[in-house]
Amino acid sequence: MRAAVVVFPGSNCDRDLAVAFEAAGAEVEMVWHKDVALPEGVDVVGIPGGFSYGDYLRCGAIAAQSPIVKSVKAHAERGGYVLGICNGFQVLTETGLLPGALLRNAGLKYICKTVKLRVETSNSAFTAGYNAGDVISIPIAHHDGNYFADNDIVAQLQDEDRVAFTYTENPNGARADIAGILSPNRRVLGMMPHPERAADAGHGGTDGVALFRALTGALTAA
């Protein structure tokens, strides 16, 4: 299974994400934001956390217009897999690959701590390693993680079983406690929490490992 991790100026979780993919058995290539094409044969693209382009204008807004993200969009539209974490989730909403937007945290503070997430669906290559209803511990680290979408979109996400994770105790004001969502074809996942920061015993938690293993397993078998 081949993964590409996008690096923007200001990305800071790119190497952690690459390590998590590699530990799960993926072959990883880093791609620069100015690259116009993804490497041949890439199965999944990781869009990492950080502060792409300094969060100028809006978080993820400038990254969404970068040359590489045009290729990522085309990859997703062809049915390719994309995992956007934290700033990566913000980029995915700005591109329109996922609905909604991430607003400033309701409490205005940057929050960096480990939170409990409920796995809402095991029906995706990302979440197949969990059971729906599992509660897992994953760190968050964000200032703008307050998921917003109008009532119709939230209802649609819930009806279509596209909410991947919710917070058991909402830290940021997110609509319907939403921490992560899937695209209609379930191959694009955006989430604010950082599974790559809970992927090694040295991190203090390993609840994120199942996500990378399930994804690598599903794409290797395919």
Report the nearest approach of another protein to the CB of residue 91 (Å).
12
**Is 162 or 203 the residue whose CB approaches another protein more closely?**
162
Please identify which of the residues 33, 75, 142, 194 carries the catalytic annotation.
194
Active site residue 40: no
Active site residue 112: no
Please identify which of the residues 94, 142, 196, 203 carries the catalytic annotation.
196
**Is 105 or 166 the residue whose CB approaches another protein more closely?**
105
Active site residue 29: no
73 binds another protein (CB under 8 A): no
Alpha-carbon distances, residue 77 vs 8, 147, 173, 202, 220 (angstroms): 22, 23, 31, 37, 20
Rounded distance, CA 161 to CA 173, Å?
21
Is the separation of the CB atoms in 16 and 53 below 8 Å? no
Q: Which of 104, 161, 170, 217 binds another protein (CB under 8 A)?
A: 104
Report the nearest approach of another protein to the CB of residue 113 (Å).
19
61 binds another protein (CB under 8 A): yes
Report the nearest approach of another protein to the CB of residue 144 (Å).
11
176 binds another protein (CB under 8 A): no
Rounded distance, CA 30 to CA 9, Å?
13
Catalog residues that contact another protein under the rule CB under 8 A. 57-58, 61, 65, 93-94, 99-101, 103-108, 146, 148-149, 173
Which active-site residues does the annotation give? 86, 194, 196
